[in-house]
Structure 1
Amino acid sequence: MVRNSVPFLSSRKRSRQNERKLPSLVFRAGVLGGVAVLLFAMLIFRIWFLQVISGDDYIAMAENNRIRQIREEAPRGIIYDRNMNPLVENRAGLAVTVFPAALEDPEMELTELGQAIGMPVEQIKQQLALHQEDTYRSVIIKKNITPEQKSYLIELMPLYFPGVDIKKFPLRDYPEGSTAAHLLGHVGEIDENELKEPQYADYSLGDEIGKDGVEYQFDRYLRGTDGSLEVEVDADGRPKRELRSIQSQPGNNVVLTVDSELQKATEDALAYGIDLAHGKGYLAANGGAVVVMSPDDGEIFAMASYPSFDPELWVGGMSDSDYQSLNAEGANDPLLNRAIAGQYPPASTFKSITAIAGLEEGIISPLNRFICNGVWDVLSQPFKCWGTHGDVDLKRAITVSCDIYFYNVGYRFYQADNLGIQRWAQMFGLGKVTGLDLPGEAVGRVPDPAWKQSFGQTEIDRMWMPGDSVNLSIGQGDILVTPLQLATAYAAIANGGRVVTPHVGLRVEDQITGVELAD
């Protein structure tokens, strides 16, 4: 009986234990079920979100992979001389573009592309990085590729370059070569700093702008309105058909006051004069400038600067080697437009202004005479003349350019504590910009006691001395002028005293109709 009761008691104990475990199992099963329901609900919500909420976005992304937006750059306006001879026009060039979203293996494709077009891969990446927020538009990587590069890319694009394309691109062309290079300037892609300037508020990265000269000054007229082209592509990125296009509108034409034949003759004469000086042993004569201007209205007929450069170097982007050559130590600053930015002592050309100041301020009269024996030794330091001219009046002093006559005039101004030379120099336009419609004009300098007080390093350096007035009288010492300022001053002398504003812009014309446009 005892043995039979043991199994019975054991079975009942197990039953009671199982009853205690049952609520725990039910709880666990409930938790697992709840988790499963939650995960399923999250999955359903995600599917709903992708299909309903984000469906349009994914459709758009698929469309963007199928459709490429290609910008059609507008040709810039043509720049003519006063006789309607083109100085800058356009020619059709070829540009390599990359469609970032279509690159399958960016590192490999960009490396091989760089080798094909002779461009460092890092430079290509930098160009793409500037447009990283616009992955569904083609980015121009290199302009002005060669026919050989074009043929190579066209042959290999379907297999190796699915994100690469070639398109036409308007490039600047110079039918007169390097004629008027400084005056005309050049174009280039706008950079991030320029984009911050108010004048470029409606520009974007990749746009070409005038960087200097006429191209810069008249950019708002020369710039056209870009068009666009939507192209459908296949799975390999190859164009299948055009979907929609907006025609670009060319920029307006700018007609200059310059005469291209006179401009070429001026540049040739300047180069010849420098060669002539070198032949006579004046090797330091390695640069110069010429301005030919109407004294009546300030129209610039010619403006030359030596040495010069070939504007074709900028077409499609300047190479590093060309840039280094232009900026090399021995190149003598060929990019400097000496006609408007070079600052030099005017020397004897200033004597006419000294003479006018002397007459107008009552320092001298036409009848005053001074003896020139080659040396003026009134001060402790002797001042020499280039010759010995004897008894000299104003007329003869100007004719033979006698320094000693003007030393006396300058000294009289000092004795009278009169700054008339400075006043008249400024009235003739020296020491300030002329208002020329080109960028980069230098101010020059007309020294006076206030300037010397602020400029001098020591007490004696800050004192205006008699020698300062004497030197100023013959255009030496601390005075600096640009060739354009001097031309403007002499134009005023020629026209009876009216200071004109020099300018190179004659008119702006609509490129299509030829109608002159009002400013």
Structure 2
Amino acid sequence: MDYFRKNNGTGSNKKSSTPIRMKIILGVILVLFSLLIGQLAYLQLSYGSKFKAEVEKTDSTVVSSQVPRGVMYDSRGRVLVGNKANNAITYTKGASTSSLQIYNISTALSNYISITDEKPTDEMLAEYYLANQDNTTKIQAKLPKNDRQDQQKLIAEVKREHIKYTAKEKTAAIIFNKISGAYTLSTIYVKNKNLTDKELAQVGEHLSELPGVGIGTDWERSYPNGSSIQSIIGSVSTEKSGLPSDDLEYYLVQGYSRNDRVGTSYLEKEYEALLKGSKSTSEVITKSNGDIQQTKTVYKGQAGASLMLTIDAKYQKKVQSTLKSVFNSALSSGAASYSNGAYAIAMNPQTGALLAVAGVSHNPKTNKTVDNALGVINQSFVMGSAVKGATVAGGLMNHVISLTNNTLPDTAIYLPGSAVKKSVYPIGTFSSLDAPTALEVSSNIYMMQLALRWVHAKYVPKEYIWMPNNAFETIRRNFSMFGLGQRTGVDLPGEVSGIAGSAFDAQGRIRSGSLLDLAYGNFDAYTPIQLVQYVSTIANGGYRLQPYIVQSVGKTSQDGKKIYIDYNKKPNVQQQIPWTSDELNVIRQGFYRVVHGTNGWGTAHKLKDVKPSISGKTGTAQTFYYDPDHPYNKHPRELINATFVGYAPSQNPKLAIAVVFPGLDPDLEGSYTLQVAREMVQDYSKLYK
């Protein structure tokens, strides 16, 4: 009985409690749901418009684009470096562009354009292939589960498949790579070379189907008057190469983008700040999902400044052509077989303006010759007797010799344990020489005798020589007044100062013989531009002028027909030589007699008939050819450097020149430097009357 009562009681409780619990739970749910409905209604009524505006909200970002670089003109206003405009297909990347979207755009574009001047790498093709999810799934199925999300392993597997891609797919892969690498909201060029009218029209017709794609204009450097001085002008990086890695941080601080094109060498680099111009700016309005809604031009930008150079394009072409022609003659004769090139430079001695800069480099191993105008500032050579004018000037200014007493014995120098040091002509040809005649016949002996007195050396032939430790400093200080052994400060990067030989041997003893060699130009090495600065200093009366190649800076009118000058370069005197006019005339007289004298040992009489009159100085210096395949050969080939410096007219000079032919066969030297000098003076005279 108790058992039945217990069970009946328990059954009665379950029947009564379960409905109550359910009612409570359902009641709570109903209340919460009612509260949620009420809250949503409240938010919709009170803040609906605000939320809608937030969804439709747009962001505004300012982006910049490059403008055409400044134009470079020659001294007569001819375009040396201009900008060739090209039609281009552009792409502006949105803030949230997906890989699939890029794949679709690239594939669609490949139907309208082709890119044949670039080849996609296997990596680029694989990345494009995997951007299609169906392709990714196929490749993943061939890999272990742990490797299926590893992009590099997916790419490696695609490469192993050796898939055959069509021409369109290769173009699409290139486009995909370009777009993928673009920065958000930046505009890149998808194709900016060899774009056909048909391609342009087809893309234009389908722009609405190609989000981010546009039609624009790009530019590239052009050289309408030839490229003989392109090595001086320099080069500009491509959009693909962008900023040079060596100067990346500098350019980024200056506000450049990584894919900006900048000058990478010489004038393009030296005047980058002026040539780049100011970028155009546009306001890009994007939707909340990152898609570009609108682009507005805020500032059209300003094209780069124009540079007017001191070089005359016609004269430059003539000098370069003459130099190459004469050097080729030297090659044909066998005289220049081991030469590394030839160089010529012309300068206005009254201003420092460079009028022509020419050079060729020669590879003795391959016998190939290329233009290399830069050699005039970055190649150093022992110049020989061409520098003797500075030696005589130093002797006069330091009162080693005087106007009334400048005759020295022409006695060869006999140092103990060394070969005799003498001039080219036989010993005993002259018993003594005065300064002008010593220049005329290019006496090495005169310069050595002068140096011995100048540094207060003690000398007994064949027995003894002593010099003070500052002897080299004394002679070099004099040469440096004329710019020899010093950077000239020309407005081009990469200039070298030359090479100064060692003044002391391994035991710390002064090299007396080398000091004597220095006195007549056979020890230290100088650059061709230093040589023309030196002779200009003699030509203009004693003003060492800074050479320059940019005459003025300005702006080109929109029609390209006028140049508005903002800045003109003024001559910069670096040093005035402290000689008297009579002392200067001693050097000038000697230089005139080198060409017009009557002495049989005169070295440049072949130029006597040139009009206008030339004054100048020749030079030869011993050098050697070391075979790069046998650098330790104890018997290198002996050669000579041949040089000429001069100015014309002899009175009131308007042109100063330097010609250098290094590494000629001493038995086949010829008169190559004089041939180039003749043409340089005559061509200049014809152009400028």
After superposition, the C-alpha distances for 1:90-144 in whole angstroms (9 at most, x for unaligned) are 2221334233336745357658869624324458677656642xx233212454x
Equivalent residues of 2:234, 2:265 under 8 A apart: yes
Change (3 A) 1:345 1:19: farther
Matches within 5 A, 1:107-506: 107=103, 116-121=115-120, 122=124, 131-132=182-183, 135-143=184-192, 145-148=193-196, 151-152=198-199, 154-155=201-202, 158=206, 163-189=212-238, 190-191=242-243, 193=245, 194-197=247-250, 201-227=254-280, 244=297, 246-281=299-334, 282-307=336-361, 337-364=374-401, 366-371=406-411, 376-382=413-419, 383=421, 385-388=423-426, 390-391=429-430, 392-393=432-433, 394-411=435-452, 413=455, 415-417=466-468, 418=471, 419-447=473-501, 449=503, 459-460=506-507, 463-477=509-523, 479-506=524-551
Change (3 A) 1:18 1:188: same
Query: Helix, strand or coil: the match of 2:387?
Result: helix
Judging by fraction of residues, say which structure has more helix: 1
Using the TM superposition, give the Cα deviation of residue 192 of structure 1 relative to its aligned residue in structure 2, in angstroms: 5.9
Change (3 A) 1:56 1:215: farther
Using the TM superposition, give the Cα deviation of residue 488 of structure 1 relative to its aligned residue in structure 2, in angstroms: 0.8
1:12 paired with 2:9, answer yes
Using the TM superposition, give the Cα deviation of residue 51 of structure 1 relative to its aligned residue in structure 2, in angstroms: 8.8
1: distance between equivalents of 2:510 and 2:35? 92
Change (3 A) 1:363 1:251: same
Query: Helix, strand or coil: the match of 1:517?
Result: strand
Q: One-letter code of the match for 1:87?
A: L
Query: Helix, strand or coil: the match of 2:393?
Result: helix
Q: One-letter code of the match for 1:91?
A: K
Equivalent residues of 1:508, 1:516 under 8 A apart: yes
2: distance between equivalents of 1:34 and 1:511? 79
2: distance between equivalents of 1:515 and 1:53? 56
Q: One-letter code of the match for 2:229?
A: A
Comparing 170-179 and 223-232, the one that deviates more: 223-232
Q: 1:76 aligns with which of 64, 69, 78?
A: 69
1: distance between equivalents of 2:384 and 2:280? 55
1:106 paired with 2:109, answer no
Equivalent residues of 2:482, 2:544 under 8 A apart: yes
Comparing 283-292 and 337-346, the one that deviates more: 283-292
- Aligned partner of 2:133 in structure 1 is none
Comparing 283-292 and 505-514, the one that deviates more: 505-514
Change (3 A) 1:244 1:82: closer
- Aligned partner of 1:316 in structure 2 is none
2: distance between equivalents of 1:85 and 1:346? 35
Query: Helix, strand or coil: the match of 2:6?
Result: helix
2: distance between equivalents of 1:53 and 1:379? 102
Query: Helix, strand or coil: the match of 1:167?
Result: strand
After superposition, the C-alpha distances for 1:147-166 in whole angstroms (9 at most, x for unaligned) are 44x63475368499665444
Query: Helix, strand or coil: the match of 2:543?
Result: coil
Change (3 A) 1:38 1:139: farther
Change (3 A) 1:356 1:127: farther
Using the TM superposition, give the Cα deviation of residue 504 of structure 1 relative to its aligned residue in structure 2, in angstroms: 1.5
Equivalent residues of 2:244, 2:264 under 8 A apart: no
Using the TM superposition, give the Cα deviation of residue 469 of structure 1 relative to its aligned residue in structure 2, in angstroms: 0.7
Change (3 A) 1:360 1:167: same
- Aligned partner of 1:321 in structure 2 is none
2: distance between equivalents of 1:474 and 1:89? 46
Using the TM superposition, give the Cα deviation of residue 12 of structure 1 relative to its aligned residue in structure 2, in angstroms: 1.2
Equivalent residues of 2:467, 2:510 under 8 A apart: no
Change (3 A) 1:18 1:388: farther
2: distance between equivalents of 1:212 and 1:246? 29
- Aligned partner of 1:322 in structure 2 is none
Using the TM superposition, give the Cα deviation of residue 16 of structure 1 relative to its aligned residue in structure 2, in angstroms: 5.0
Change (3 A) 1:38 1:182: farther
Using the TM superposition, give the Cα deviation of residue 58 of structure 1 relative to its aligned residue in structure 2, in angstroms: 5.9
After superposition, the C-alpha distances for 1:176-197 in whole angstroms (9 at most, x for unaligned) are 0113222322323551643522
Comparing 432-441 and 349-358, the one that deviates more: 349-358
Q: One-letter code of the match for 1:301?
A: L
Query: Helix, strand or coil: the match of 1:178?
Result: coil
Q: One-letter code of the match for 2:216?
A: K
Q: One-letter code of the match for 1:169?
A: D
After superposition, the C-alpha distances for 1:319-369 in whole angstroms (9 at most, x for unaligned) are xxxxxxx9x987667567101111222222222222323333344562012
Equivalent residues of 2:343, 2:373 under 8 A apart: no
Change (3 A) 1:192 1:297: closer
Change (3 A) 1:147 1:434: same
Equivalent residues of 1:358, 1:421 under 8 A apart: no
Change (3 A) 1:248 1:422: same
1: distance between equivalents of 2:43 and 2:514? 86
Comparing 485-494 and 502-511, the one that deviates more: 502-511
After superposition, the C-alpha distances for 1:405-448 in whole angstroms (9 at most, x for unaligned) are 33444455464423321111111122332121222211223446
- Aligned partner of 1:314 in structure 2 is none
- Aligned partner of 2:78 in structure 1 is 85
With structure 1 as the length reference, what TM-score do the two structures score? 0.74
Equivalent residues of 1:358, 1:420 under 8 A apart: no
